[in-house]
Each structure stands twice: as C-alpha cells, then as structure tokens.
Homo-oligomer: A and B are copies of this chain.
Amino acid sequence: MSSTRRAETFPASTPAAAQIFTTVLSHGPLTRLEVARRAGLSPAAVTKAVRPLIEAGYLVEEADEPARPALGRPANQVRVDGGRALFIGVKATGDEIIGVLTDLCCRIHVARHTPLPDREPKAVLASVAELVGELLGEAGDLGVPVLGLGIAVSGDVDRGAGVVRYSPFLEWRDVPLAELAATTTGLPVAVDNDVRALTVAEQWFGAGVGLSDFAVVTVGAGIGCGLVVHGRVVAGAHGVAGEIGHVTVDPAGPPCHCGNRGCVEAIAGDAAIVRRIRETTGLEVAGTAEAVALAHQGNAGAREAYARAGDAIGRGIATVANLLGPERVIISGEGLAAHDPFAEQIRDAFAAAAFGSADRCDVQTRPLPFEEWARGAAATAIQSFIRADDQR
C-alpha cells in the first residue's frame, strides 16, 4: 500500500516560521501585520516566512476580506488550509479504542471506535492498525494525504522517546509504541499521555488559545489534569505530572487505590460517587448513568454524593490555582454538560479555597465528548508534524 512513500515534511525550517504558522493556526485568519505583531517579528519576516507555506499549500490567502480598514490598502488575511492535510488521532482505553480523522485545523471529519478484546500490546496494535486502516480509507476517498498519527494513552508516557513507560489500564510497561505503530501503519507517529494530548488540543484549538498559563481538568472515571506553564505543556522531570486525582482533599476521607485516603479521585471519581450513593442510600446503583439519573431526580443521597465530589474537585483546582496561578482552568468531563449542580459546586469550592487567585482565575466548564480524547491525540500528531514544541 504505502510502500516507499517518503513522509512529507513541513516547510518551516526556523523556529520563527513554525511560530508564525502556529499563530495563524490558533488565531484564525490574520493579516500579515497582525501575525507580525503577535509573533513579535517584523512584517518583512512574516512575508518571507508565509510565502513558502502558501506555496506548499499549508496557508491560503483568505478570499474575502471582511475586516477592511476605513482607510488605506485593504489587508489580505491568511489562514491555514485545513483541507491540505489529514491526521489520525487514536485514544486507547482499557476496553476500547477511539479513532478520529481530523484535518490540519484539528476539525473532526470521521470518528470510529471499536472494542478492545485484549490488552496485550500486540493485540492493541493490531486493533489500532485496523482502525487506522479504515480511517486511511476514508482519507483516500477524500483524496487528501494523512501526514501523521497520534496515539494517546493514560499513564506514564515518554513523549520524546515514544514509549509507554507504565499504563495501569493497559497493564503495559516500557512499550515502544511509536516505533511499533510506525512500522505497522507506515505513518509518522506521536505518542503522548492522554490528558496532555487533550491539553495540547485546548492550547492550540480550544479554550487555551492565546494563554501561556492554564490548566485542563478532566472529570470521569479518573480525575486528570494537564498543565500549561510558560506556554508549554508540563511533563515533569520524569514524565509524570498533573496527578490532581491523588491530591489529598480530606485525610480522613475514603481510601484510594493509591494507598492514601481522601484523594480527589477517591471522592469524585465515577466509582467513588457510585459507591457513596450505595452507602448512603442503600440503593443498588449499577453505574454512573444511573447515579446521574438519581441526582437529576432529586435523590438526596445522590445529590449529596455529587456535592461532595464537586467540593473535592473544586478544592483540587484551588490547589492548582494557588500553586501555579493559571489564567484559566478548563474543567471538562462527560457528565458535566448535563449536570449543572455539580459544576456549580465545583465553582463554589474553588472560590472558597483559592487563596488570592479566585477572582483572577477564570473557571470554564465544557463537555468532553468521547472523541475529544482522540482529537487530542490528533493534535499531538499535528504539533509533532509542525515540530514546534513551544508557542504562546
């Protein structure tokens, strides 16, 4: 199939050129002058950097110029041609693989998911290859080349080496996933931790655009956190960071699988909430869906459990805000959109526990559809293709 097709490379030789491209990518259509101001470069430098990018088709001149000035020569806006290239993002959980086909602007064109019968690296790799094959087929129909594959896995991932150091859900240790996937798919592969991947997506295409310091908190089975400091996603000295789930909220709280008590996750994780409702109401709650339904019906025990969870998350976020002073915290989770009381509780607890930063830190809540995880993986693939490791 792919045979000896040479991997296409991005024509941005210098860091400045990459920065110019990412500026346009994140901040929509911009005139060259606006790009120059944002990137802190001279207009001439922008002109020179933009030309090869237009010639290669990654940037295009915007056809209509809506924002023309009252006076003077009208500006020509430039934007990224999303249709120029496609990327595939894959998120592997313990029992499912989610894959999306996105364009260069990280807009999802196709989403697929398949169950995962076996967690062995080989079996997972085979499933990933199959899913990628299907998505490549879709891409072939569109006649647009796929330039990269991103894979997101929860756990301890060495992004630079493309190795999954340790993934509890998959029960993997030191799996050189990037290399393996590259040989089976023939695509350039980027591998990263799932929450960090999601954070990259927010940084470049979401609510973190233009911010140099923000946090993404994911609420679901586990509680995760991606941090952006100084315009770069924090990976920690050893690849582990953002473990907000195991921040202690109440030393007398319920035991956590990590060995401590009262971790955020032990109070606000899906399983913890279900367990709490069972304990306080005596009802046989099967799962999260039922717990949410109970809370919506006004069941006191369920509401209390969610209030407790919201409180724990709010405290956890306040801890992040106190330590890092982010400009914004983006809370995202499956249940959040449908479940406002939860979010409100988070806000209240945050406001109470945040020391000096509460009024200066914007807390946003946004839903997290399951494809969003895979989109994050695609974002890392795009980032890796552009080869721009830091940006504002």
A235 to chain B: which residues have CB within 8 Å? 325
Cross-chain contact A212 with B237 (CB below 8 angstroms): yes
- Cα–Cα distance between A234 and B91 once the two chains are bound (Å): 31
Stretch at the interface among A27-35, A352-360, A379-387: A352-360
Cross-chain contact B236 with A353 (CB below 8 angstroms): no
State whether the Cβ of A130 lies closer than 8 Å to any Cβ in chain B: no
Contact of A352 among B156, B211, B260 (CB under 8 A): B260
CB distance from A126 to the nearest CB of B (A): 29
CB distance from A222 to the nearest CB of B (A): 12
Cross-chain contact A240 with B323 (CB below 8 angstroms): no
Cross-chain contact B323 with A244 (CB below 8 angstroms): yes
State whether the Cβ of A326 lies closer than 8 Å to any Cβ in chain B: yes
Task: Provide the A165-201 mask, 1 if CB < 8 A to any CB of B, else 0.
Answer: 0000000000000000000000000000000000000
Copy total for this chain:
2
A contacts with B, residue count (CB < 8 A):
48
Of residues 131 through 160 on chain A, the ones whose CB sits less than 8 Å from some CB of chain B are 156
Of residues 212 through 245 on chain A, the ones whose CB sits less than 8 Å from some CB of chain B are 212-214, 225, 227, 229-230, 232, 234-244
Contact of A230 among B234, B323, B356 (CB under 8 A): B234
A242 to chain B: which residues have CB within 8 Å? 323
Binding site for B on A (CB under 8 A): 156, 211-214, 225, 227, 229-230, 232, 234-244, 246-252, 258-260, 315, 318-320, 322-327, 352-353, 355-357, 360-361
A-B contact pairs, 5 of them (CB 8 A): A230-B230, A237-B326, A240-B355, A240-B360, A319-B319
Q: A240-B357, A242-B323, A250-B252 are in contact. List 20 more A-B contacts (CB 8 A).
A: A211-B237, A213-B236, A227-B323, A227-B324, A229-B230, A230-B234, A234-B325, A236-B326, A236-B357, A237-B325, A240-B325, A241-B324, A244-B322, A244-B323, A248-B318, A249-B251, A250-B251, A252-B252, A260-B353, A319-B319
